[in-house]
Chain A
Amino acid sequence: NAGVTQTPKFRVLKTGQSMTLLCAQDMNHEYMYWYRQDPGMGLRLIHYSVGEGTTAKGEVPDGYNVSRLKKQNFLLGLESAAPSQTSVYFCASSGGSSYNEQFFGPGTRLTVL
Chain B
Amino acid sequence: AQSVTQLDSHVSVSEGTPVLLRCNYSSSYSPSLFWYVQHPNKGLQLLLKYTSAATLVKGINGFEAEFKKSETSFHLTKPSAHMSDAAEYFCVVANTDKLIFGTGTRLQVFP
Contact = CB atoms under 8 A, between A and B. Distances in A.
Interface string B80-91: 000000000010
A42 B43 contact: no
B51 A99 contact: yes
A44 B101 contact: yes
A98 B95 contact: yes
A58 B90 CA distance: 19
Interface residues of B, number: 21
Contact of A104 (B45, B95, B96, B103): B45
Contact of B101 (A42, A48, A99, A101): A42
B103 A41 contact: yes
A15 interface: no
B57 interface: no
Interface in B23-64: 32, 41-46, 49, 51
Pick the most buried of A45, A90, A98: most chain B CB atoms within 10 A of its CB. A98
A97 interface: yes
Contact of B90 (A43, A45, A97, A99): A43
A107 B43 contact: yes
Interface in A88-108: 90, 92, 97-99, 101-102, 104-107
B97 to A, nearest CB: 6
Interface of A: 4, 31, 33, 40-45, 48, 50, 56, 58-59, 90, 92, 97-99, 101-102, 104-107
Kindly list the 5 A-B residue pairs having the minimum CB-CB distance in the complex, ordered from nearest. Answer: A104-B43, A42-B101, A98-B94, A104-B44, A43-B101
